Amino acid sequence: MAQYTDRALTEEEMERYSRQMIVPGMGKDAQLRLINSKVLIIGAGGLGCPAAQYIAGAGVGTIGIVDGDVVEISNLHRQVGHSTTRVGMMKVDSLITHLKGLNPLPSYIPHLTHLTPHNAADIISQYDLVLDCTDNPATRYLISDVCVLLEKPLVSAASVQASGQLTVLNCPPVPQGITSILGVTHPLPPCYRCCFPKPPPPSAMTTCGEAGIVGTVVGMMGIAQAGEAIKILAKGHHRADILNDPPHEPTFPPSLLIYSYDLEKGPSSATFRSVRMAGRRKTCFACGDNSPQNLTLEGIQKGTPNYDQFCSLPSAKVTLPMEDRISASTYKDILAGTQSEPEQKILQGILIDTREKEHFSFGAIPGAINVPFGKLLTAAAIAKREKQNGQEGREISKETYERLSSVLPREILDQEEDKKDKESEPPIFVVCRRGHDSQEAVEKLREMGLDRGGKRKIVDIIGGMKAWKEEIDPSFPFI
C-alpha cells in the first residue's frame, strides 16, 4: 500500500491543481494524499467515463480501469470518455487515451478484462479505493464481497432510464465479522449486501441496453461518485483505524442518494433525495457476525458463492434445442408461402414480438403482436400461481384464461373452435431483440399450456430482429 510521503509539489502540479488546492478543506496535504492514492474504476461506461475524468483531473496518482468491452457507437451519448474515431477499440484503452490528454501525470493501469470471481481479488488488492461503475448485480455483489475481505472502501453508483443511485460503502473499512466496537455507538459502515441483502428477481431487472438510459442522469451519478472518492482520499478516510481510534460520529453516515429526472415533467422537476440507511448488519452474509464462515477470498476464487446463480444472470438463461428454433429466413418463407420443403410446411401462425413498446414503435415484422417480455413473464407467473392453486394439467382453465387475458392479447389465448380437434394448430412464433428473451418466452408459453399438450408448435426466431435486419431487411430500423 502506498504510504503518504511529504514532498514539495512540482511546478506543474502547483499550476495544474491550483484551483482545487485553494478550496477550503484541501491544501497541500490533501493534494499529496490524492497524488499518492490508487483508485480502481470498474466499468468504463456511463458511470466510469465521467467518474474517471474527474478522478484523473483531480490528480489521483494511480488509476486502474477494468472493462472487457469495446466501444460501440450506441455508447457515445453517455460514455463521454470515448470517441467516434475509437469505435471498436477496447473501452479501457479508449478511456485511457482520453484521460492522458486530460492529465498526463497519473499512472494509468489497463485491465482489459471483465471482473470475475477468479481475477477480482488480484486486481482490487492493488488499489486503495474502488468505484463500482458496472452494469449488473452479479458483479456488484462480487465487488462488494471482495472489498469487504480486502478492507477497501467502495463508492457504488447505478443508473437506469432516468433514475440514479449512489452510496458510499465500507468506509472507513472495518474487518469482516466485526459488528460492534467498544466505545462506538453509531452504526458501523455497511457493505452492499447490508443495504441490499437479496438481488431482485431477474424479471424485475432492467439493463441500459434494454431499457435505455439518459446520458446526463448516469453522468451526474458518475461525477458524484468521483466526488465522494476524492473526498475520502484527500482526507485519508480510507486509512482511518476505526478499531483503535474510533470516531465519535460516523465519518460517512450510511446513506443513499437518489436522483430522479422526469422527461414528462417541466423544467426544474428533477430531484435529489438523500435517505438514511442502516449500518453493518449482524446477520450480513458478507460482513456480519458469522460471515467468515460464508465468505473467503479462496472460496470466491473457487466459485463459492456462485454469483451468477445468486442473481440468475441472463447468461444462465434458457437455451432451446435447435429443433425448437427457426431462422429469420425460414420465417420469411413461411410468411411469403415459399417454403422449400412443402411436405414439412409450417403453417402461418401468430408472431409475438417481446421487445419493449418503444423499440416496437420504430418498426416490426408485419402482423407482429407486441407483448413486452416483462408482461409475458407476468402472465407466466399468473399461470404458475393458478397451477399451484390446484389447476392441474396442461390445458388452461377458464379462471386462468380470464386472468391471463388481462395481460396477454386474446389472439394468443384463444383457440378457434373448429380447429380444436385437428392434429395441429397454427404455431406461435416468438421474436425479440437479439434472440435471448424469445427462448425463455417459448418456454414460458409452453409452461402456460399454450402448446396445447404438444399440438401447437411454439418456436423462436434465432437472433431476433437483429438477425431479421441482417438476413432479410437491411433497411429495418433496428434499435
Partner 1 sequence: MGDSVPAPDKPTIPITVDFSGGLEMLFSNQKRHSLTIPATDSNEKPATIAFLIDHLCKNLMTDPRSEMFVLDKHIRPGILVLINDADWELEGEEAYELQPKDNILFVSTLHGG
By three-state DSSP, how is residue 432 classified? coil
Q: Which three cell numbers stand for residue 294?
A: 460464508
Q: Which H/E stretch holds residue 219?
A: helix 215-235
Backbone angles phi, psi at 122, to 5 degrees: -55, -45
* Residue 207 in contact with partner 1, rule: CB under 8 A: yes
Distance of alpha carbon 150 from its chain centroid, rounded? 23
Q: Is residue 479 a contact point for partner 1 (CB under 8 A)?
A: no
Q: How many C-beta neighbours within 10 Å does residue 206 have?
A: 15
By CB under 8 A, is residue 48 in contact with partner 1?
Answer: yes
Query: Which stretch, 55-63, 68-76, 204-212, 326-334, contacts partner 1 (CB under 8 A)?
Result: 204-212
Q: How far is the CB of 233 from partner 1 (least distance, A)?
A: 21
x/- mask, partner 1, residues 367-386, rule CB under 8 A, reads: -------xx--x--xx----
The DSSP element (H or E) to which 108 belongs, if any, is strand 107-111
- Residue 380: closest CA among 360, 407, 355: 407
Neighbours of 475 (CB within 10 A): 7
**Where does residue 223 fall: left (phi above 0), alpha (psi -120 to 50 degrees), or beta otherwise?**
alpha
287 annotated as a binding-site residue: yes
> Cβ(143)–Cβ(42) under 8 Å?
yes
Nearest to 227 by CA among 168, 161, 272: 168
244 binds partner 1 (CB under 8 A): no
Residue 201 or 247: the one with the smaller Cβ distance to partner 1 is: 201
- According to the annotation, is 306 in a ligand binding site? no
Contact range with partner 1 by CB under 8 A, out of 14-22, 189-197, 232-240, 392-400: 189-197
Integer Cα distance of 218 and 45 in angstroms: 9
d(C-alpha 55, C-alpha 218), whole Å: 16
Q: Is 208 a catalytic residue?
A: yes
Contact set for partner 1, span 401-440 (CB under 8 A): 406-407
How many residues sit in the footprint of partner 1 (CB under 8 A)?
A: 55
Is 78 within any annotated ligand binding site?
yes
- Contact status: 200 vs partner 1 (CB under 8 A): yes
195 classed as catalytic: no
Residue 284: CB atoms within 10 A of its CB come to: 24
Is 269 one of the annotated binding-site residues? Answer: no
* Dihedral sign for Cα atoms in the order 236, 242, 245, 249: positive
Binding mask of the shown chain, residues 3 to 42, with x at each position contacting partner 1 by CB under 8 A: ----------------------------------------
Catalytic residue among 49, 133, 208, 311: 208
CB of 134 to partner 1, least distance (A): 6
Nearer to partner 1, 47 or 458 (CB): 47
Contacting range for partner 1; rule: CB under 8 A; set: 5-13, 151-159, 325-333, 388-396: 151-159
Map residue 255 onto helix, strand or coil: strand
What distance in Å separates the CA atoms of residue 186 and residue 250, rounded to the nearest whole number? 6
Annotated binding site: 46, 67, 74-78, 91, 135-136, 191, 194, 284, 287
Annotated binding site for Zn(2+): 191, 194, 284, 287
Catalytic residue ranges: 208, 432
Query: Which residues contact partner 1 by CB under 8 A?
Result: 43, 45-48, 132-137, 140, 157-161, 163-165, 195-201, 203-208, 211, 213, 218, 221-222, 256, 258, 260, 262, 273-278, 374-375, 378, 381-382, 406-407
